[in-house]
Amino acid sequence: MHDSEERYPPPSLCHEGTRNIVICRIEGSYRNEIPPEKKIIWVHAPADYGNTAVAGTVSKKMESRTDLDFNPIGATCFFWRTSDERNSPRHFIITLAYQFTISIPELAPRIEAAVRRNPMALNKALEVQLVKFIVEPFKPLRELDNMPHRLVIIDGLDECINSDRHSRVEKQYAEDQERVQVRVLELIRILHSHNLPLCFLILSRPEPWIKRHIESKSFQSITETLDLYQVGDYLSDVEQFVRDKLACIAESLNPGDHEEWPGGVIQEMNTRHKYFGMHT
């Protein structure tokens, strides 16, 4: 979960005034500006390019909305390669179901009853858990079609691996990693197929097998893909970040002096970067 103890202190959010285009696109999809059949958004970017910051920022912005009388964030799941609790899909469905009992209060008694009736299902296949603890509790709800959608955020899909990787040869580990990540994608697709009031934001690196599966016929028709590297003006974002940090330094050195520092140096660097980018 995005606010869990294990993620404290939480990773940095997007710097103020940056990543605005991609964040607006995601929020726009929630407001049905993207075709309603595409209830899955996949945001991908190389390592250290800010996927997790985008996920955290979207979650925070959505939760702080004052124009809604419900929590638009249904659940979050942040995979993390080096955490034994967060680098495996074994808790994926239970994590979502638990958060649904909080974000969708009318689901709570139904999910709790499902666990009491069949506690052994907690140890069954994820596909069975999905049906028992999410799909079946949703179905009896009245006015299901009129229920507002909740956003489910899954960050770091490429960080979802098998915990026992050290006992495997490298090739087998790579194959298992591919298999387990595709399995999570299939769980999301199955949830989507039940027409529940849920939409999904998936963030990951563009690993070939993830890209290949999302571009498959069954997935492509229900997914909006956003390349974080191409969406928006990353040079402008970097400039905004550098200007703000330099302004903080200038203020600490000379409080009260509001003259921009270091003047036009940043603009000159930006111009040179664009020039060399065009001629290399």
Domains detected in the chain: 5-231 (3.40.50.300), 235-278 (no CATH)
Q: For 58-109, what is each residue's pLDDT tens digit?
A: 999 888 888 888 999 999 999 998 887 888 899 999 999 999 999 999 999 9
- pLDDT in the model for residue 193: 94
- pLDDT in the model for residue 143: 78
pLDDT in tens, the chain (280 residues): 545 555 455 667 887 777 888 888 888 877 765 566 789 999 999 988 888 999 999 999 888 888 888 999 999 999 998 887 888 899 999 999 999 999 999 999 999 999 999 999 999 999 999 999 999 999 998 778 788 999 999 999 999 987 555 545 556 666 688 999 999 999 999 999 999 999 999 999 999 999 999 999 989 999 999 998 888 766 676 777 677 677 777 777 776 665 665 555 555 555 554 544 444 4
- pLDDT in the model for residue 258: 58
- pLDDT in the model for residue 247: 75
Rounded to whole angstroms, the Cα distance separating 267 from 20 reads 21
Is the pTM higher than 0.85? The answer reads: no
DSSP state letters, 9-56: SPPP-PPTTSSHHHHHHHHHHHTT-S-TT--EEEEE--TTSSHHHHHH
Q: Any alpha helices (H) in 64-134, and if so which ranges?
A: 92-103, 108-117, 126-130
Helix (H) / strand (E) element for 223: namely strand 223-227
Q: For 126-140, what is each residue's pLDDT tens digit?
A: 999 999 999 999 999
- pLDDT in the model for residue 279: 46
**Do 87 and 30 form a contact (C-beta atoms < 8 A)?**
no
Give the dihedral sign, CA 22/27/28/32.
Answer: positive
Give the residues across from 155 on adjacent strands.
78, 203
Helix (H) / strand (E) element for 153: namely strand 150-155
- pLDDT in the model for residue 163: 53
